[in-house]
Structure 1
Amino acid sequence: MELLKDIRVLDLTTMVSGPVAATILADQGADVIKVEPLHGEQMRHVRSSHFGVNPMFFSCNRGKKSISLNLKSEQGKEVLWRLIETADVLIQNFRPGAIEKMGFSAEKVREKNKSLIFVSISGFGEEGPYAQKRVYDPVIQALSGAADIQGDHKTGEPHLFKLIIADKITSLTTSQAISSALYSREKTGEGQHVKISMLDSMLSFFWPEGMTGLTYDEYEVDSSKSMSAVEPIFATKDGHVTAVSIADSEWAGMCRAFGRSELIEDPRFINAIERFNHAEIRKQIVAEEIAKWTSEEILARLDAEDVPCAPILKRDELKDHPQIQTNGSIHTFNVPGYGNINQARPPAQFEQAPFDGMDLAPELGEHTASLLEELGYSKEEIDQLSEGRAVRLAE
């Protein structure tokens, strides 16, 4: 895929939010250079590795080049300055103020490269009482209302998403913002500083349905009731399914599928507002009816009535589902040493830039030597940088 061909991205980020944003750009053809410390970024060390690269690091960093620099040394800093002169985008997610202390503030960097898109990702924003706190995904979930949204609406007990959702929502927000900044640069020739916080990204993501009670100050809505009105997972005789009826026609179809047509005209369920107001009894009835059937039987009946529904798949069932197979949603490729590798195919399919496969995640410092050569360093200079521990070469 060559949508972002000739766009060079310097990825100075760690863990998930920044690396995944840069991987999205790599999937779309950008030349992404992962700038790592001599010991490698933290994500390399959070899981046991396979062929030198653990699966989480692989998925967050595929398709990139790795250069390993000691940015505490003047020689390492000089290498980064040379890379900055060649770059279109720089992404960093150090704690606010850290990149400035290192000597690479947005102002200084953009003096060197005026067309650069400089992207700063923070946990909470760059100012305020939480700005300097260390942050991981659960902390943002707690502060953004996510734990409340996921909470048990009967007991009030909060729960976290079991995924690192805050990081990945920030990744999507960041990659989209970079695309917009690059488009703006095409029109104006000007780079700019883009600031994104994980907290703001999550609030924006949750707002449409998760924060209905906060949208109108003069119109009170119980947000917890709003979320509890969504149909949950239902048990069948042999498994679990989900089924959703929002429109009147969907509710009527669901009732017919159950053989309970009398419920269509029941005053408690006569329209969407009444079904919302009587959500608990409605869900109880639906659960009781679905429990009478096997998953295959009830899904067939619901499909016949055009009611949105699906089986609840386990993760090891995904590759065998016919819709996922038809879409080619999971890309499998074989690499000597690794064996078969499975990755989610990039979801956006571009007519003029069809998906043409994926590259590996880099080993630490795998491209240090080749990038230094590109920047004009001689073999002797590269050896000196390595011996002086300004850079790390691949083993």
Structure 2
Amino acid sequence: MRGALSGVRVIDLTGVVSGPFATMFLADQGADVIKIEPITGDITRRSRATIDEAGEFSALFISSNRGKRSLSIDIKEPIGREILTRLLDQADVLVQNFRPGTMERLRLGPKELRERNPRLIYVSISGVGDSGPYVRKRVYDPIIQALSGFADIQSQPLTNRPQMIRTIVADKTTAVFTAQAVAAALYAREKTGKGDYIQVAMLDTMIAYLWPEGMMQYTVVGKEASVSDPNDRPDLVFKTADGYITCGTISDSEWQGFCRATGDPELEKDERFSTPGGRFLNATARINKMQEYIGRYTTAEWLDRLDAADVPCAPILRRADVFRNEQVVARELIEELDQPTVGRVRQPKPAAKFEINRSKIGGPAPRVGEHSREILRDIGYDDASIDALIERKIVRSI
């Protein structure tokens, strides 16, 4: 069987990353994902730097749109909207991330489309939702990091200066939440026969994601000031004699193991660190003390010592080393495939491993309008009509 979502048709009317990344997960799991692109193509095709001579692909686009089919149409034109609605009459899922109100102005809102197709699962992704004083604000990932507390949790311990996480964490996390919500809605539809309307806001997502440990001091109402900030401490990056490692000492056995690994019998006698509570309250002193010892030996020596003592540890890999790491290689986590007009590219395999309904990379990212003709034929357009639409620049095809 070709994936758990084989037979599910998804219309992907999204751009940038939060939407495309979500629908890519669905494609990996077997769904037929049709990417609706403007005539000029998704904006991320040209993001940062293109990697092919035609200027059609960026690495960002490839890594968010593999395994999809591309239909390039102008949905601002009535005929373009007619094509889209005919597709949606036969679709299971629509995912869109236009600014709130845009789809309604195009007469493609959830009310209209779900009246036409009650089984349709209509998904809207937004920055901050469809209500509130920020609803018209233009939003990108750093805006959400700023509003959700993520920039604060990364603050410099000494200066308390907020810092951004150097990856689009809000976009990508929203994609995961969205894909999970679509799967839940498909399951519910199997029981009820009815679709649903799902709204996923990046701000909502990141506050929910941050909460379990990032907001511990704000969980109990009225006790905010009495709980120390778990993030007001150095991070767990330790410099060795020749590189960097990380290690954790949460449990008593792990701390005792670290003490043995240092070879210093006096460290285990330090009462500040003898209990989990003490290690938490004295985190800065503990981490600085650990650094004193770790700086004395090489990365390889420390990993041997810590593994022997059953202390969680790992080398801190540079990105260029990740796909060469022995664990990554042993698990065959990275796959290579041919990307038209680009060449060989690397992609991570789907993270969730299904024993029966196996996920897999369904192919390379599509060229702009690569599948326009076949998709239009599927919904009843003949070749002459398709040629006329291409001539009028309502449809783009290769």
**TM-score normalised by length of structure 1:** 0.97
Q: Specify the code of the residue in structure 2 equivalent to 1:68.
A: S
Q: 1:389 aligns with which of 390, 393, 398?
A: 393
Provide, for residues 200-240 of structure 1, a one-character-per-residue CA deviation record: whole Å limited to 9, x for no partner.
00001100010111110133357773023575200011001
Q: Specify the code of the residue in structure 2 equivalent to 1:228.
A: D
Q: 1:76 aligns with which of 66, 76, 80?
A: 80
2:227 equivalent to 1:205: no
2:314 aligned counterpart, secondary structure: strand
Identity %: 45
Measure, in 1, the Cα distance between the counterparts of 2:339 and 2:145: 37
Provide, for residues 304-344 of structure 1, a one-character-per-residue CA deviation record: whole Å limited to 9, x for no partner.
00000000101111122110011111112345653321101
CA distance 1:337–1:11, shift in 2 (3 Å):
closer
The aligned runs of 1:1-395 (5 Å cut-off) are: 1-51=2-52, 52-220=56-224, 225-229=229-233, 231-334=235-338, 337-394=341-398
Query: Higher relative contact order at CA 8 Å, sep ≥6: structure 1 or structure 2?
Result: 2
CA distance 1:286–1:221, shift in 2 (3 Å):
farther
2:224 aligned counterpart, secondary structure: coil
CA distance 1:56–1:136, shift in 2 (3 Å):
same
Q: Specify the code of the residue in structure 2 equivalent to 1:4.
A: L
CA distance 1:203–1:69, shift in 2 (3 Å):
same
Q: Specify the code of the residue in structure 2 equivalent to 1:130.
A: Y
1:185 aligned counterpart, secondary structure: helix
Provide, for residues 11-63 of structure 1, a one-character-per-residue CA deviation record: whole Å limited to 9, x for no partner.
00110000000000000000000001111121112133234311110001001
Greater shift in the superposed pair: 37-46 or 251-260: 37-46
- Alpha-carbon contact 2:4-2:359 (below 8 Å) kept: no
Cα offset for 1:262? 2.4
CA distance 1:230–1:24, shift in 2 (3 Å):
farther
Measure, in 2, the Cα distance between the counterparts of 1:328 and 1:186: 35
CA distance 1:311–1:222, shift in 2 (3 Å):
farther
Cα offset for 1:357? 4.2
Q: Specify the code of the residue in structure 1 equivalent to 2:270.
A: D
Measure, in 1, the Cα distance between the counterparts of 2:345 and 2:225: 47
Cα offset for 1:389? 2.0
Provide, for residues 262-317 of structure 1, a one-character-per-residue CA deviation record: whole Å limited to 9, x for no partner.
22232101101011111111111100000000000011000000000000101111
CA distance 1:335–1:159, shift in 2 (3 Å):
closer
Greater shift in the superposed pair: 211-220 or 221-230: 221-230
Structure 1 gap segments, 5+ residues each? none
Measure, in 1, the Cα distance between the counterparts of 2:338 and 2:81: 37
**TM-score normalised by length of structure 2:** 0.96
- Alpha-carbon contact 2:340-2:364 (below 8 Å) kept: no
Measure, in 2, the Cα distance between the counterparts of 1:224 and 1:36: 49
- Alpha-carbon contact 1:32-1:65 (below 8 Å) kept: yes
Measure, in 1, the Cα distance between the counterparts of 2:260 and 2:331: 31
- Alpha-carbon contact 1:124-1:131 (below 8 Å) kept: yes
How many positions carry a matched residue from both structures?
A: 394
- Alpha-carbon contact 1:8-1:89 (below 8 Å) kept: yes
Structure 2 gap segments, 5+ residues each? none
Cα offset for 1:261? 2.7
